[in-house]
Structure 1
Amino acid sequence: MKKRPWKSSLTAIMLGAMIVQGGTAVWAADAAPTAPVSAPTVNYGLTSDIRAAVKSVAVTPTASGSQLAVTVRLYNGGVTQNRVPEHELRVQTSSGVSYTLKPSGTNKESLQPKEIGELVYMTAVDTKEIGTIDQLSFVNVDVYSYPKVEKTLLAMPTNSVWYGAMGSAALQNLNNVTWGQSFVIPGVNSGITYTAVETSMQNTTAGRVAVVTVLASNPGAGRETVPAFRMDAQSETKNYEGKRAEVEPVTLEAGEQKYIHFAIPVENGVTLSNLVVLSTDTFVAKGAAEAATAATTVATGKLAIAWPKQQGSTTAVPYTIGQPIAFDALTKVVDKSTQVSLMELHLHENPGEGFKTAVAKFKLTNTSTSPIALPAFVSELVSTQGLTYQGARQANVTEMMNPGLSYVVSYSYIVPQSEEGTSFSLKLLDTVAAAPYTTTIAALQTDLQQEEAEDSTISLYPFDLKINDVAVNTQTTAQLTYTYKVRLDMDIKQKENVVVDNNFSKLRFEIVDSAGRVLGSKDAAFTGVNKLISGVQMIDASNITTDQFSYPFTVNVYETIETANGTAKRLLKVIK
């Protein structure tokens, strides 16, 4: 049977989107069954062994005209190395105008057997009236003939052209994806699927940034590297260019999932309407002395995603205090052998201060058989009105946790006096994955704990305190220095297998006279030589050189936590 040769110009063979994963050719539809159905990539015969497909075509406005860019993917289906035939790449408009594009200096001149190569072309023209691009062609030009002889090696229609910069008309040419829907990037040689899962607006020293978290999944049979692409954001009137937070290449093994993050600087008060997924290629001018300085990024819009209506996009799950927290399965912040539970969450007044203080206390347990690092996460308290209060972690913590033991870490939150909420969302954040930005690893919806009644036991995890009696005596020296001695009778019980060291919070006894003046204070620790114990004990308060005070005295009992932002206080009891 006689073999039928590849037909060249305007003759297509519908092969589907050919993808190389682990050295094996597979079909995009098989590789990503959960992704939206899209038109298959059409491959054309450039030579008897080399096939070509259009990856991207972009017409982008510039200050003085337009930039035309094309990326073509070639595949050598032969069994030997094949040279890419000499050619010019041209694009034609529907009105018959032709533009010749310059090749990138990094374009391959030959392909090894079964190799895929991408050729990038670009040119700038001083006109904004390009019109509609409907075809591109490989043209061989014999410059040694007179008159010169031109031969079209291959002509391919351009079914999808990106007319930047992000206007609504440009978006009409893109596939639209709903928030949370999986997608593959059309025209890109990859079977990786993506799902946008979270957005957050974050303030930095450089301004406001929209951070988008995307879940990348490899459903294929071999290792894949996430291809170059970015996400931009669009308002009704303006485009905001994004940048991937990960600097190093992101590689996924077969069946593996990872998060990638995009940071998009925006203006204060802006309302975003869309995210746009753009594939990116690099064009390097030929003959440039330094390729790095001559490199130009070519971006082509591929998909549009409606910006989510609910900011944050992470739903807080109902949580009961004391239960283990369910973290995101992909987080690297909390080891799988570390069990984390929220043990306390209080919001209380601060006498003499202009704000309230909330305190969250977490128990971290090492369930493994060897020491592991204590996880370092950030926390935020979010009210039902959407107000976010950043937590300050206690200043000193244990670095390593021994097996079978629990450790306590506290966070404090400064809250305005006007805050009257009783239910909050508590977000735990990762500061490493998308540094310097944060991403959510757990979101809990829980109620505040009620402060204990006057005669009840005070919970100060892992301690339960019951103050039976407090009395204040005054002693005066010849130098008119007044010393206050606090006689304290209390019961203390401690939970087992919970480590308490000198990093743990302390009790502060503050003596206030009837006029509201603080006469003296004393901090008492739960560890060390002079630690608090059950029974009667005497505590010397600070000296003060004044006789301007009036009886009776009141003792305010606080829990104090040293944080990076200073000392945080939680009012435990007022004793009169």
Structure 2
Amino acid sequence: MKKRPWKSSLTAIMLGALIVQGGTAVWAADSDPAPVAAPTVNYGLTSDIRAAVKSAAVTPTASGSQLSVTVRLYNGGVTQNRVPEHELRVQTSSGVSYTLKPSGTNKESLQPKEISELVYMTSVDTKEIGTIDQLSFVNVDVYSYPKLETTLLAMPTKSVWYGGTGSAATQNLDNLAWGQSFSIPGVNSGLTYSAVEASMQNTAAGRVAVVTVLASNPGGGRETVPAFRLDAQSETKSYEGKRSEAEPVTLEAGEKKYIHFAIPVENGVTLTNLLVLSTDTFVPKGGGQAETLATGKLAMAWPKDQGTSVAVPYTIGQPIAFDALTKVVDKSTEVSLMELHLHENPGEGYKTAVAKFKLTNTSTTPTATPAFLSELVNGQGVTYQGSRQANVTAMLNPGLSYVVSYSYIVPQSEESTNFSLKLLDSAAAAPFTTTIAALQTDLQQESDSSISLYPFDLKIKDVAVNTQTTAQLMYTYKVRLDLEIKQQENVVVDNNFSKLRFEIVDSEGRVLGAKDATFTGANKLITGVQMIDATNITTDQYNYPFTVNVYETIETANGTAKRLLKVIK
């Protein structure tokens, strides 16, 4: 028995009808409001099912071209409706027609009020596709002779993306300014986005452009961030990006969240553009490898300053204003920069900067110690990575402050006195980092009368070095100290706190002995006169007079960091 062909009435010629409210096209199969507004023109496929083009793309391949189309269907009826049997074809302005293959996951029927997306793709061995100006649903009755073809719906396709590199990829795309808010054309979502930070970061696998995008839900219900990605482009090449968040990102009404994209690039490349691409999955019927189809939607210029967070002027000791969306620092934890010093390191060949942060728990219960990273940036944009002290208390007790130190190794040629201090989150876009605060501040200058090692103020009143020789010809140096030490209240100092190192150096610059002293424990430094025994050595080849170099030492994951505090002659 022959199948009856689909009626050619094109469902009462409703297929071309548009219903537009407030400048936005909406689904309009009946008088009920649509579950989700669609920002695209839609057409009647049947009396109940309406169709809209989500995306259409022609992208070059090694041997030709790939044509892909995604169509969104909406069943506005009150019962389940079957999608008519059809082929999806695209027509060029020169009259050439291409038939696309359907994805194996395309639905054959829709429940009432259901929205579904149908994905189609084909590859052809030619690069001369031309301009696509129409796509159509065509029913083919293979049981009639000659076979009977009926066009169920023809839709113009004005927003076709023609992939490529450089300016070719951005043709027909709207261009955004950096930071400009946008929604993704054709994508069934009310979420809006804005690019807020871009940085070039180095990994063991190579160089990566990391872009942070702020997603906002201005609607009244929960929404999940749809599938899309960011690619980067140079003048001659495209670089594919990947979202760092493996799990779906869901936003409640009025909520904002960051999403992150990592784009591997080549060393030395100069990026020109970022592309926003919607993505769909094509699964071959009968099995085979699923393929991601990407369609360019928007373009934005790669920021000249890499879109980095602007460092705000900061006064030492004031609470730091963190990004409101950060999860690194608990809302009840107050963080303040208490010290920032840069010092020479005699004999080391480099300078050391040290930053000390006070972490205060303002709540009534213990909170976890925030584990942020930090970078020091000079006025020319040269960045020095910070090394956090190795041992840090895991929890902060209420009403108390704790001190965490970071050290930075910088070259001897560094002469800057004003720096940007960036605090970073290493978890949100792991293994990459994002900025949660950026401070602009001057280095502190040491006082001649006292030394600041927050929460201690140290005044060295007198230092003397005595030498003793044992029967085994071992030479011991005793340092006699007269100190005055003051400590801030309610600041916890434990065995993780930095130490003082006293190095005894002769007139030839040789280190004859050294001794570390602590601010905690049974033999801690105190106000008054005390003796410190330096390390034994087995030579008497030294020259007077002696000099004592006083260092602050901090144990970090990269070893011991030293900050020269004072040279006493």
TM-score normalised per structure 1: 0.94
SS in 1 for 2:273: strand
SS in 2 for 1:352: coil
2:513 to 493, 498, 520: 520
Match in the other structure for 2:323: 328
2:342 to 339, 347, 351: 347
Match in the other structure for 2:263: 264
**1:412-454 Cα distance to aligned partner (Å, 9 max, x none):** 000000000000000000000000000000000000001221x
> Structure 1 residue 166: deviation in Å?
3.3
Tell me how far apart the structure 2 counterparts of residues 165 and 119 of structure 1 sit (CA, whole Å): 24
Residues 334 and 361 in structure 2, CA contact (< 8 A), matched pair in contact too = yes
Residues 66 and 123 in structure 2, CA contact (< 8 A), matched pair in contact too = yes
Match in the other structure for 1:71: 70
**1:116-170 Cα distance to aligned partner (Å, 9 max, x none):** 0000000111111111100000001111111111111000000110111234133
Tell me how far apart the structure 2 counterparts of residues 137 and 295 of structure 1 sit (CA, whole Å): 25
Q: Which amino acid aligns with 1:119?
A: L
Q: Which amino acid aligns with 1:325?
A: I
Mapping of residues 19-98 of structure 1, within 5 Å? 25=35, 27=37, 40-98=39-97
SS in 1 for 2:77: coil
Tell me how far apart the structure 2 counterparts of residues 138 and 253 of structure 1 sit (CA, whole Å): 37
Match in the other structure for 1:451: 446
Residues 352 and 563 in structure 2, CA contact (< 8 A), matched pair in contact too = yes
Mapping of residues 501-516 of structure 1, within 5 Å? 501-516=494-509
> Structure 1 residue 11: deviation in Å?
1.9
Tell me how far apart the structure 1 counterparts of residues 105 and 13 of structure 2 sit (CA, whole Å): 26
Q: Which amino acid aligns with 2:17?
A: A
**1:328-381 Cα distance to aligned partner (Å, 9 max, x none):** 000000000000000000001011110000000000000011000000000000
Mapping of residues 313-392 of structure 1, within 5 Å? 313-392=308-387
**1:193-236 Cα distance to aligned partner (Å, 9 max, x none):** 00001000000111111100000000011000000000011111
Gaps of 5+ in 1: 29-39
Tell me how far apart the structure 2 counterparts of residues 532 and 494 of structure 1 sit (CA, whole Å): 12
Instruction: Say if 2:479 is the partner of 1:486.
Output: yes
Mapping of residues 513-552 of structure 1, within 5 Å? 513-552=506-545
SS in 2 for 1:272: coil
Stretch of structure 1 that moved more, 166-175 or 356-365:
166-175
**1:76-135 Cα distance to aligned partner (Å, 9 max, x none):** 001111111111100000011111111000001111111100000001111111111000
Residues 337 and 357 in structure 2, CA contact (< 8 A), matched pair in contact too = yes
Tell me how far apart the structure 2 counterparts of residues 279 and 359 of structure 1 sit (CA, whole Å): 45
SS in 2 for 1:170: helix
Tell me how far apart the structure 1 counterparts of residues 398 and 194 of structure 2 sit (CA, whole Å): 37
Q: Which amino acid aligns with 1:403?
A: P
> Structure 1 residue 319: deviation in Å?
0.3
Gaps of 5+ in 2: 1-8
> Structure 1 residue 24: deviation in Å?
6.4
Tell me how far apart the structure 1 counterparts of residues 439 and 61 of structure 2 sit (CA, whole Å): 47
Match in the other structure for 1:298: 293
Tell me how far apart the structure 1 counterparts of residues 48 and 487 of structure 2 sit (CA, whole Å): 77
Mapping of residues 362-441 of structure 1, within 5 Å? 362-441=357-436
SS in 1 for 2:272: strand
Instruction: Say if 2:226 is the partner of 1:216.
Output: no
TM-score normalised per structure 2: 0.95
Match in the other structure for 2:272: 273
Tell me how far apart the structure 2 counterparts of residues 314 and 82 of structure 1 sit (CA, whole Å): 51
SS in 1 for 2:342: strand
**1:285-305 Cα distance to aligned partner (Å, 9 max, x none):** 0011xxxx5100000000001
1:11 to 3, 8, 16: 16
Change (3 A) 1:499 1:467: same
> Structure 1 residue 14: deviation in Å?
3.6
Change (3 A) 1:450 1:228: same
SS in 2 for 1:395: coil
> Structure 1 residue 18: deviation in Å?
4.0
Tell me how far apart the structure 1 counterparts of residues 408 and 263 of structure 2 sit (CA, whole Å): 28
Tell me how far apart the structure 1 counterparts of residues 274 and 72 of structure 2 sit (CA, whole Å): 26
SS in 2 for 1:105: coil
Tell me how far apart the structure 2 counterparts of residues 551 and 271 of structure 1 sit (CA, whole Å): 58
Change (3 A) 1:178 1:360: same
Residues 198 and 212 in structure 2, CA contact (< 8 A), matched pair in contact too = yes
SS in 2 for 1:187: coil
**Identity level (%):** 84
> Structure 1 residue 558: deviation in Å?
0.6
Tell me how far apart the structure 1 counterparts of residues 12 and 470 of structure 2 sit (CA, whole Å): 109
Large movers: runs of 4+ above 6 Å: none
Mapping of residues 467-482 of structure 1, within 5 Å? 467-482=460-475
Tell me how far apart the structure 2 counterparts of residues 246 and 126 of structure 1 sit (CA, whole Å): 36
**1:161-204 Cα distance to aligned partner (Å, 9 max, x none):** 01112341331211111111000000000010000010000001
Match in the other structure for 1:228: 227
SS in 1 for 2:35: strand
Residues 333 and 430 in structure 1, CA contact (< 8 A), matched pair in contact too = yes
SS in 2 for 1:294: coil
Q: Which amino acid aligns with 1:57?
A: A
> Structure 1 residue 261: deviation in Å?
0.5
SS in 1 for 2:565: strand
- Equivalent residues, number: 554
**1:42-84 Cα distance to aligned partner (Å, 9 max, x none):** 1100001000000000111111111110000000001111111
Q: Which amino acid aligns with 2:78?
A: V
> Structure 1 residue 9: deviation in Å?
8.0
Change (3 A) 1:367 1:374: same
Tell me how far apart the structure 1 counterparts of residues 60 and 564 of structure 2 sit (CA, whole Å): 62
Stretch of structure 1 that moved more, 166-175 or 364-373:
166-175
Q: Which amino acid aligns with 2:424?
A: L
Tell me how far apart the structure 2 counterparts of residues 308 and 418 of structure 1 sit (CA, whole Å): 29
Match in the other structure for 2:6: none
Mapping of residues 67-216 of structure 1, within 5 Å? 67-216=66-215
Residues 9 and 156 in structure 1, CA contact (< 8 A), matched pair in contact too = no
Tell me how far apart the structure 2 counterparts of residues 414 and 7 of structure 1 sit (CA, whole Å): 76
Change (3 A) 1:70 1:200: same
> Structure 1 residue 325: deviation in Å?
0.3
Tell me how far apart the structure 1 counterparts of residues 131 and 168 of structure 2 sit (CA, whole Å): 13
Match in the other structure for 1:35: none
Tell me how far apart the structure 2 counterparts of residues 236 and 525 of structure 1 sit (CA, whole Å): 58
Q: Which amino acid aligns with 2:533?
A: D
Tell me how far apart the structure 2 counterparts of residues 117 and 466 of structure 1 sit (CA, whole Å): 74
Q: Which amino acid aligns with 1:433?
A: A
Instruction: Say if 2:564 is the partner of 1:571.
Output: yes
Q: Which amino acid aligns with 1:504?
A: F
Tell me how far apart the structure 2 counterparts of residues 554 and 255 of structure 1 sit (CA, whole Å): 64
SS in 2 for 1:169: helix
Tell me how far apart the structure 1 counterparts of residues 64 and 37 of structure 2 sit (CA, whole Å): 39
> Structure 1 residue 26: deviation in Å?
5.2
> Structure 1 residue 515: deviation in Å?
1.2
